[in-house]
Structure 1
Amino acid sequence: MASTAARPSGVPQEDLESFQAHLSKSTRILALLGAGLSASSGLPTFRGAGGLWRTHDAMQLATPEAFARDPGLVWQFYNYRRHMALKAKPNPAHYALAELARKKEDFMTLSQNVDGLSPRAKHPEDKLKLLHGSLFDVKCSDFFCNYTESNNYTDPIVPALAIPTDESDPTTSDALQRRELDISNENVSLPELDYRHLPKCPKCKRGLLRPGVVWFGEMLPTNVIEDIDNWMTKNKKIDLIMVIGTSAKVYPAAGYVDRARVKGAKVAIINMDSNDVPAGGLRKGDWFFEGDAAQIMPEILKNVIGEIKNTPDAAEGA
């Protein structure tokens, strides 16, 4: 296993040289992205220190049952996340990966992120698979309606969901108590935010729109999983899998690392936490680059992508 001791740049010279030599000759590459990729863009990881989930019970907000019970509360939480993600901008790691996708023909990126930053960095759409959907996709919650909409950057999505001027999260326990709500009572409605004020489906006129993300208890998108499986099951070797900003300990993410190894891939981990390694661990010849992906990715990919210059993202002003 490569050393985790780092120069101020974050990348040990010996590891940099061996990784870049392997990258140069690699033809089939897989990247697995997690929330740590977006940390430098100002978005907290949900399970990290200070993450949004520290002030919320995910099982009360990120499930179909929660949306059926209190769509106003769920939409406030997701509208807040949309707002904060739109304020953030893709960082150099997003741009570096997007450029690598353009340079390497047989390259696939699997993202667990829903923040929209990779698409806004112009990552080629056919080489980016969003495992958990996107905050900026919406779909009808009515069982009999198939309406979906992609890249909806309207902020707020409806006027009633406007974020407070101090940009505080309106769904924390403290915020709810300040509004004198009894959150244990399922029959309590949010003031001025009942069913009538939430985003409606323009197609069926019956159902509410819901965030186009995968909630707990839901299946991952079938078309995305099929695309990934088709790519991975080709009768070809996989040369490299990069695991960026995620521990990859939870399936299906952990499974993709294992499957890539079976196809011959070496593993490169880029993470802030040296203890965050995939479930299968690291092996001789793998790399662990400890630090901020926004600093590390442009450096370790430079021999293939050249210097990265950030460009205005597609969603600015949207």
Structure 2
Amino acid sequence: MSTSTTPPMPLNPATSSASNHGPSNDVASFKEFLSSSKRVLALCGAGLGASSGLDTFRGTGGMWRNYRAESLATPQAFKREPGLVWLFYSYRRHKALAAKPNKGHFALAELARRMKKDGENEEGFVCLTQNVDGLAQRANHPEGSLKLLHGCLYDIKCSSPSCNYRERNNFDDPYHPSLAITDPEDSRITPVANDIQGIIASLDPNRHASTVPISDLPHCPTCKSNLLRPDIVWFGESLPENTLQEVDAWIEKDKIDLMLVVGTTAVVYPAAAYVDTARKAGARIAVVNIDGDRLGSAGGLRKDDWLFVGDAEEILAEILGLDEAKDGGHRSA
């Protein structure tokens, strides 16, 4: 994580503002356009939380106990190995609670406050986050402007679709005594098995043995018969319908001036489709990402778009031009 006060931009000559073919990385032109924008949409991914020290569990960055995160974030995995899945999410809760919102979170929160139309319920800025770490909320991002596409680590629900038990904003660490992190290996992110040491580790049966018996896991206090689970969207599950309806209603109301794509390769659908939707609604696109070559649905940027390659925390604090965002040491819960 970069701690420099000078943001790492522009980094990619191919995206220079002098180019007539690709997107710009000119901060001044972006700020000028932002200042005149009335409606702004943002899509944020794991790269924003990475600046706070959280693992992205993407690409070659790491695995948990030699399991790919995607293989544990499914209903099928929970049905097959609920103890293992719960331990994974207990680890993620533990890490997220220890992390602090960074300048990027504060910049987005302040942008939401500044774009709120006086005397109206209409939000000038809507932030769609794929992150479940709760850092945006802890940066005091206005609730009406923040749309949680994948849920939150601190929300719990019954695993049975027929039971309506839900628990909000539970910050206990651990959530349940059986999920306490006592093994140092719980906090170890192991390398993808593409070298000899990684292969040896992946073949060690003891690395896969530690789990929690079903009888010791948290059970629903309402129906009494089913396990509780994190109230987040797993692969193969639908995004929250109410949230999607709210976002669609906002998009359809009027022209969108600008879309920010922050810390995500925009490859997970249906969330990634919002980039195309915003474009069709008239938006220019600004991408902030550590990797300028892997942009998913945010690729195909035009010369009147922007691409800022580097640390999301530092870049957002710079391009949003918010004084409050530059005080990274305040307001952490």
1:9 to 7, 10, 14: 7
2:217 to 198, 202, 216: 198
Equivalent residue runs for 1:148-227 within 5 Å = 148-164=166-182, 166=184, 168-169=186-187, 177-178=205-206, 181=209, 193-227=212-246
RMSD over aligned Cα atoms = 2.6
Pairwise CA distance, 1:71: 1.0
Pairwise CA distance, 1:46: 1.6
Pairwise CA distance, 1:18: 0.2
Give me the whole-angstrom Cα distance separating, in 2, the residues matched to 1:45 and 1:34: 9
Q: Quote the sequence identity (%).
A: 54
Tell me which amino acid in the other structure corresponds to 2:313: A
The one-character-per-residue Cα deviations of 1:162-208 (angstroms, maximum 9, x if unpaired) are 10253634897769833783xxxxxxxx66x2122111212222221
Pairwise CA distance, 1:311: 2.0
Match of 2:52 in 1: 41
Give me the whole-angstrom Cα distance separating, in 1, the residues matched to 2:322 and 2:72: 44
Describe the shift of the 1:237–1:83 C-alpha distance in structure 2 as closer, same or farther (beyond 3 A).
same
- Note if 1:242 corresponds to 2:260: yes
Equivalent residue runs for 1:57-206 within 5 Å = 57-58=68-69, 60-105=71-116, 106-164=124-182, 166=184, 168-169=186-187, 177-178=205-206, 181=209, 193-206=212-225
Match of 1:22 in 2: 33
Describe the shift of the 1:170–1:198 C-alpha distance in structure 2 as closer, same or farther (beyond 3 A).
farther
Pairwise CA distance, 1:145: 0.7
1:231 to 204, 228, 250: 250
The one-character-per-residue Cα deviations of 1:226-261 (angstroms, maximum 9, x if unpaired) are 111111111x11010000001113322331111111
Give me the whole-angstrom Cα distance separating, in 2, the residues matched to 1:79 and 1:180: 16
Describe the shift of the 1:170–1:77 C-alpha distance in structure 2 as closer, same or farther (beyond 3 A).
farther
Give me the whole-angstrom Cα distance separating, in 1, the residues matched to 2:261 and 2:275: 8
Q: Name the stretch that deviates more: 132-141 or 46-55.
A: 46-55
For the residue of structure 1 that corresponds to 2:34, the secondary structure is helix
Give me the whole-angstrom Cα distance separating, in 2, the residues matched to 1:303 and 1:170: 36
Give me the whole-angstrom Cα distance separating, in 2, the residues matched to 1:37 and 1:51: 17
The one-character-per-residue Cα deviations of 1:9-28 (angstroms, maximum 9, x if unpaired) are 32349711100000101010
Give me the whole-angstrom Cα distance separating, in 2, the residues matched to 1:113 and 1:157: 19
2:163·2:223 contact (CA, 8 Å) conserved in 1? yes
Tell me which amino acid in the other structure corresponds to 2:55: P
The one-character-per-residue Cα deviations of 1:73-129 (angstroms, maximum 9, x if unpaired) are 110111111111111111110111011111112110000111111111111111111
Gaps of 5+ in 2: 1-5, 11-16, 18-24, 117-123, 191-200
1:73·1:171 contact (CA, 8 Å) conserved in 2? no
Give me the whole-angstrom Cα distance separating, in 1, the residues matched to 2:238 and 2:304: 35
- TM-score, with structure 2 as normaliser: 0.82
Pairwise CA distance, 1:310: 3.5
- Note if 1:277 corresponds to 2:295: yes
1:63·1:217 contact (CA, 8 Å) conserved in 2? yes
Pairwise CA distance, 1:276: 2.5
Describe the shift of the 1:180–1:293 C-alpha distance in structure 2 as closer, same or farther (beyond 3 A).
closer
- Note if 1:288 corresponds to 2:301: no
1:169·1:175 contact (CA, 8 Å) conserved in 2? no
Pairwise CA distance, 1:133: 1.0
Describe the shift of the 1:171–1:260 C-alpha distance in structure 2 as closer, same or farther (beyond 3 A).
closer
Give me the whole-angstrom Cα distance separating, in 1, the residues matched to 2:214 and 2:317: 46
Give me the whole-angstrom Cα distance separating, in 2, the residues matched to 1:47 and 1:306: 27
- TM-score, with structure 1 as normaliser: 0.86
The one-character-per-residue Cα deviations of 1:40-77 (angstroms, maximum 9, x if unpaired) are 11112121332336931345421112212221111011
Tell me which amino acid in the other structure corresponds to 2:319: I
Match of 2:280 in 1: 262
For the residue of structure 2 that corresponds to 1:41, the secondary structure is coil
Give me the whole-angstrom Cα distance separating, in 1, the residues matched to 2:260 and 2:32: 15
Describe the shift of the 1:204–1:93 C-alpha distance in structure 2 as closer, same or farther (beyond 3 A).
same
